[in-house]
Each structure stands twice: as C-alpha cells, then as structure tokens.
Structure 1
Amino acid sequence: MELDQEIKEQENIEENQNIDSVMEPEILEDDSDGVTDDEAQDDSVTSETTDDIESEGTSDIGDDESESVKAIALLQEEIANLHQQLELQKEQTKSVQGQFMRLTADFDNFRRRTAKEKEEQETTIKKKTITELLPVVDNFERARTQIKPANDGEMGIHKSYQGVYKTFVESLKKLGVSAMRPEGELFDPNYQEAMLREPTNEYPEGTVIEQLVRGYLLNDQVLRYAMVKVAAPKDDDENEATATPENGENAEN
C-alpha cells in the first residue's frame, strides 16, 4: 500500500513538471543582444521618421532660402525702379522750376516795363499840360514887375491877383515843377538857350547875366529851357575907347 502511494505521488510530480514545461513561453534567442522584434521595429520606424524629418527640414530650409533670394531680388528690382522714377521726377521738377523762374523773370520784366511806360506816359501828359499853363505864370510875373499900384484900390487888385499867382505856383510845386535860377552861373546848354551875348568885363565869359524867359523843370526833366543873356568878352577897341577919356583927364591934371 505504501509503495503504491509513493508511485502515484511520483507520477503526479512528473505530470506537474510536464504541464509547467508546456505552459512556459518559448524564448527565442536572437543575435540582437536581447532586443526584441518589436523594439527593433520601433527603432527602425524611429530612424525612418528622423530621416524623413531631417529630409523635410532640409527641403524646407532650401525652399525658404530660395524664396528669400527671390524676395530680395524683387526688392532690389523695385528699389532700382524707384530710384529711376526718383531721378525722372527730379529732372521734371528741375525743368518745371526752370520754367517757373523764366516765367517769373518775364513777368517781372513785363511789370517793370509796363510801370515805366505808364510813368513815361503820365510824365508826357503832365509835361504837355503844364507847358500850356506856363504862359499864364509868365503873365503874372510880368504884371508883378511892371504894374505899380498908384492907390489903395489898385493895391487891392494887385494883392488879389498876386494871391492867385501864389496859389497857382504852389500847385505847380506839388506836381514837381521848379523854376530855374541860372543867374550868375556858367551857361549850360542842357538847361538854357542863349538868346543874347553881351560884352562885359563885370562877369566872366560864358556867365548867365540875365534870364529873359524863365525856365522850368519837372522833377529832373526840362519842362522849358531858360532863355538867357550870356556874358561875352569886350573887344580891344571898346576897351581902348573906354580908357581914352580917362587918359585925357589924367593928362589935363
């Protein structure tokens, strides 16, 4: 009985060992130093992914550099076009400025010429009008020198027209008219006309002795030439004739 029990126990032990050996997973040996197939596959995928990323990164960098070069080229071309347009605008501006300066100069010349012509026209009209009035002034001056009032009535009339004469002369002065007074000065053909030459030793030759008709100026222009008498040297015969009576008187004394 005991022997049979021991044999059964031995058989149970062997049966259990067989079951354990069947249930244990087979471990395959690999030449990859303990790396499993899954791990190797993961490493392969990772390596491929890294290579793809590096390849894509390199491609992206190349594309970016190409785009940058194109953008720089376009900017440089645009800058060159802008410089060209700027130079063209400068030339156009310079041309317009030149035209403006010429127009301004022409307008200034036209304005000065017009103002000068207007002034000359006004002066011509003024000279003509005043010249027509000068004989009136001459008559007033003759009346003042020739008429001698004999009584109070005549004196009143004399003062009355002399007042008119004074007012008239003041009006002429306001217009720029001035009377010439060449007496005692050397004859100047630019302002005077020599009507008479009087031999005399009292004045140097060519000196204006008397103003026969008064001359007038309108500002700096001659309105009417003065008609004058000019001193001339005496002849030797006249000097001897003048000296003879004196010599005779001295001889008698």
Structure 2
Amino acid sequence: MADEQNQDIPLPDPVVGAETASGDELDARIQVLEEELALAQDKALRMAADLQNVRRRAEQDVEKAHKFALEKFANDLLPVIDSLERGLELSSPDDEAIKAVREGMELTLKLFSDTLKRHQLEAIDPHGAPFNAEHHQAMAMQESTNVEPNSVLKVFQKGYMLNGRLLRPAMVVVSKAPVQAPPSIDEQA
C-alpha cells in the first residue's frame, strides 16, 4: 500500500487538454492567469517600493548618526564654556593683578567658541529678542516698561543648537507688561 501512495500520478498534458477544452474554458483560464499575473506584478512593485523606502530610511539614519554623533560630547563640554564665561563676567578687566589670566581666559573662550562653530554647534543668546518657547526656557518674568512684553530681558545661561537641533534651551528672564492699578472709586459720589 505504501508503494501505491508513492507512485507518481500522471498529470494531463496541457496541449492535450487544450484540444479537448472549449473556447469558453480557455478564455476563463486566460482571464484567471492574467489576474494572477497582475497581482504578481503589483506585489513585485510594492516590494520594490518597500525596499526603496527601507534603503532611504537607512541612509537618513546614517546621515543623522553622522550629523548628531557629537551631541553627547557637546553636552558634556557646555559646562566648561559656561564656566569660562562666568569667570570673565566676575573678573574685573581693570584689575592689573589678574589682567594676564583674564586675557588667557578670553583667548581660550574664543578658541573654544570657534571650535564649537566649526562643528555646527551654535550659541543661542537671545538678549532683547522675543521669547521663543522652542529655544528658550523662561526662568522668571519681570515687569518692564522699557521693552515689549514677552521679550527676553536677561539671559542666565546661553542655549545651544547642534546642526539646527536644540541641544540646550537658553534660560531667560522674560518681560511682562506692568500691572495697572485698578481705578479708585470716588467715595464722595
């Protein structure tokens, strides 16, 4: 019985079957084959498009990896530049005892800033500019009649962008309109 199951079953010869099939059956068979061919072509086009999308996404991922590879390293360097800037702010340019040290700090800060710019790391120093929530972090609000409301009055800490992407927001004080005292009520009326 096992031999009977393993025997090859002869398939009909397509040419012989075509002679005996009617024209309607052939037309139906052609229609089915054309539909299968259209589905196979559509599937092949979709697979090619998917492959192209995967390739494009991979290229974009590699480009972003190259572009933002310095992000962590740059974040670690920002406190160093902040310290140099604070040191210059707190030291007096008129003090002869520290004049040489101050000049060295200025040169180091300039060299450091130029190096950051070469690597597309740009400082955000928005003093006097309108507040931008995408690039600034408001630390406080202060009444001011000298500038428009919602303008940056003071910068606590500069922000930085790496290749157009925000690395650190600028920490700022934002102006607001002075509070108007309510009109007094005339008690004699």
TM range (shorter): 0.5 to 0.7
Residue equivalent to 1:60: none
The answer to whether 1:110 aligns with 2:54 is yes
Measured in 2, the distance between the counterparts of 1:186 and 1:166 equals 27
Q: State the SS of the aligned residue for 1:202.
A: coil
**155, 158, 168: which one pairs with 1:214?**
158
Identity rate of aligned residues, in percent?
27
- By how many angstroms is 1:127 displaced? 1.5
Residue 185 in 1 paired to residue 129 in 2? yes
> Which one is further off, 157-166 or 199-208?
157-166
1:228 aligns with 2:169: no
Q: Supply the distance in 1 between the matched residues of 2:64 and 2:163 (Cα, whole angstroms).
A: 13
Deviations 1:63-83 (A, max 9, x none): xxxxxxxxxxxxxxxxxxxxx
Q: How does 1:149-188 map to 2 (within 5 A)?
A: 149=93, 150-151=95-96, 154-188=98-132
In the alignment, what sits opposite 1:19? none
Q: 1:121 aligns with which of 65, 72, 79?
A: 65
Report the residue type matching 2:123 in the other structure: A
Moved over 4 A (4+): 101-104
Partners of 1:182 and 1:158 lie apart in 2 by: 25
Instruction: Using CA pairs under 8 Å that are at least 6 residues apart, name the structure with larger relative contact order, 1 or 2.
Output: 2
* 8 Å contact from structure 2 (residues 67, 163) kept in 1: no
Other structure's SS at 1:236 match = coil
SS at match of 1:196: strand
Alignment of 1:1-253 (within 5 A): 99=44, 105-149=49-93, 150-151=95-96, 154-237=98-181
Larger radius of gyration: 1
Structure 1 stretches lacking a partner, 5+ long: 1-91, 241-253
In structure 2, the residue matched to 1:33 is none
Hey, which of these two has a bigger chunk of strand by percent?
2
Unaligned stretches of 5+ residues in structure 2: 1-36, 185-189
Q: Which amino acid aligns with 1:164?
A: T
Contact 2:88 2:105 in 1 (8 A): no
**What TM-score comes out, normalization by structure 1 length?**
0.50
Which moved further from structure 2: 125-134 or 154-163? 154-163
* Counterpart Cα distance in 2 of 1:115 and 1:174: 24
Residue 124 of structure 1 and its aligned partner are, at CA, apart by 4.7
Q: Which amino acid aligns with 2:61?
A: E
| Structure 2 CA distance for aligned equivalents of residues 110 and 186 of structure 1 | 41
Pairwise CA RMSD: 2.9
1:104 is displaced (CA, Å) by 5.2
